[in-house]
Amino acid sequence: MRFFLAVCAVVVLPLLNGCAAVVLGGAAATGGYLVGEDRRSAAVMTDDQTIEIKASNRISEKYPNVHVASTSFNKLVLLSGEVPDAAAKAEIDRIVRGIEGVRGTYNELQVGPVSPISARANDSYITSKVKTRFLDGRRFNPVHVKVVTDAGTVYLMGLVKKQEATDAAELARTTSGVTRVVRLFELQD
């Protein structure tokens, strides 16, 4: 039963990006599986959600017509998506670095036109396939690795051991539709 609930959570979570109440409620419904298994403290998980919300709000206030996703894991923020020029890319990075609690950013923003909804839907599908492969592979606890996909590039974040990082990258790299894998892990060993 626990495995079934974990599979459901992995498939549904990419669709709930940034919805802390649903994510935390889901964790409670699965007996604390997500919260209890995460290597971050509950306070850091809450801080990550707060950082994502603040980043999204501040970016959309200044740049309402861009596609920027901000994903915080252990207070390190991945910026992905498209911006109109290098100045906007640098300014968005500055905005996010200025949010209280942010330890740093991985600025993977691309200069170019905003991606169509169909491309973003495909990215969500790729994320789901990677997470499913993590579950099927049973090499590590998939809760330890955050997966973000943008334009076919899979970004992997998490507090992991070296072997877990290697396994996650290999599983992601060999998933159909993935064009590139970027490892943004913090190693624990």
The domain spans of the chain are: 42-111
In angstroms, rounded to a whole number, what is the distance separating the alpha carbons of residues 174 and 154?
Answer: 11
Q: Can you read off the two tokens belonging to residue 155?
A: 């970004």
Look at residue 9 in the predicted model and tell me its pLDDT: 52
| Helix, coil or strand: residue 52 | helix
Tokens 């190693």 found at = 187
**pLDDT tens digits, residue range 7-65?**
445 554 554 444 444 444 444 433 344 556 899 999 999 999 999 999 999 999 999 99
Look at residue 176 in the predicted model and tell me its pLDDT: 97
| Alpha helices (H) along the chain | 2-12, 20-29, 33-37, 42-62, 86-97, 117-137, 162-173
Q: Can you read off the two tokens belonging to residue 127?
A: 């994320």
**pLDDT tens digits, residue range 129-165?**
999 999 999 999 999 999 999 999 999 999 999 999 9
What's the fold here for domain 42-111?
Answer: Histidine-containing Protein; Chain: A; (3.30.1340)
Decide: 20 and 49 in contact? Cβ < 8 Å.
yes
In angstroms, rounded to a whole number, what is the distance separating the alpha carbons of residues 151 and 115?
Answer: 8
DSSP 98: T
Residue 3: pLDDT band with limits 50, 70, 90: very low
Please state the pTM of the whole predicted model.
Answer: 0.81
Left, alpha or beta for 66 (phi > 0: left; psi -120 to 50: alpha)?
Answer: beta
**pLDDT tens digits, residue range 75-130?**
999 999 999 999 999 999 999 999 999 999 999 999 999 999 999 999 999 999 99
